Amino acid sequence: MLDVLINILSWIFLLAGGAFGVIGGLGMVRFPDFYTRLHAAGVTDTLCALLIVLGLVLQSGFSLLTIKLLLILLFLLFTAPTATHALARAAMVDGLEPGDQQDPPDMVERDRETKPQGEPSSNT
């Protein structure tokens, strides 16, 4: 009985993790510019990974494998923000300005002329 409960809980975690992974990917497509897309990627980096690892921990039972899985999660949570920050920094240094909606209208206009809407992150 307990086995079944743990299994069900584990599947809920794994499926929810997968769903958040898809949501993160969806956000990457739907958000308008590079910086907002970073936030969508953040969903995949954090909650998706967290839920999947928790689901796997429940699947593995309490053993050495649990420690390994939690270590993977720990390293992931340390490296993911570093990578995200490196990306954001690289974009800033490259001169890509955040598409700020609080800009005065003429500035938004100028942005639209210099940068084609929809694909500001493709000018590598």
Partner 1 sequence: MNRLAFSLTLLLAALWLAVSGVYKPVILALGVASVALVVWLSVRMRVIGVEHNPVLFSWRLPAYWFWLIKRIFWANIQVTRRVFRPDSIKPAVIKVPVPQKTSVGKVTYGNSCTLTPGTVTLRLTREELTAHVLDDESARDLTDGSMAEKICWLEGNTEPKR
Q: Which residue ranges make up the site for partner 1 (CB under 8 A)?
A: 20, 23-24, 26-27, 30-33, 35-36, 38-40, 42-43, 45-47, 50, 64, 67-68, 71, 77-78, 80-82, 84-85, 88-89, 92, 98-102
Whole-number minimum distance, CB 87 to partner 1, in Å? 9
Between 7 and 67, CB nearer to partner 1? 67
**Sequential DSSP letters for 23-83:** HHHHHHHHSSSHHHHHHHHHHIIIIIHHHHHHHHHHHH-SSHHHHHHHHHHHHHHHHHHHH
Between 12 and 47, CB nearer to partner 1? 47
Between 100 and 119, CB nearer to partner 1? 100
Q: What is the token pair recorded at 58? A: 């429940």
Whole-number minimum distance, CB 32 to partner 1, in Å? 7
The terminus-to-terminus CA distance of the chain in angstroms comes to: 55
CB 32 within 8 A of CB 99: yes
Whole-number minimum distance, CB 44 to partner 1, in Å? 9
For the beta carbon of residue 24, count every other beta carbon within 10 angstroms: 20
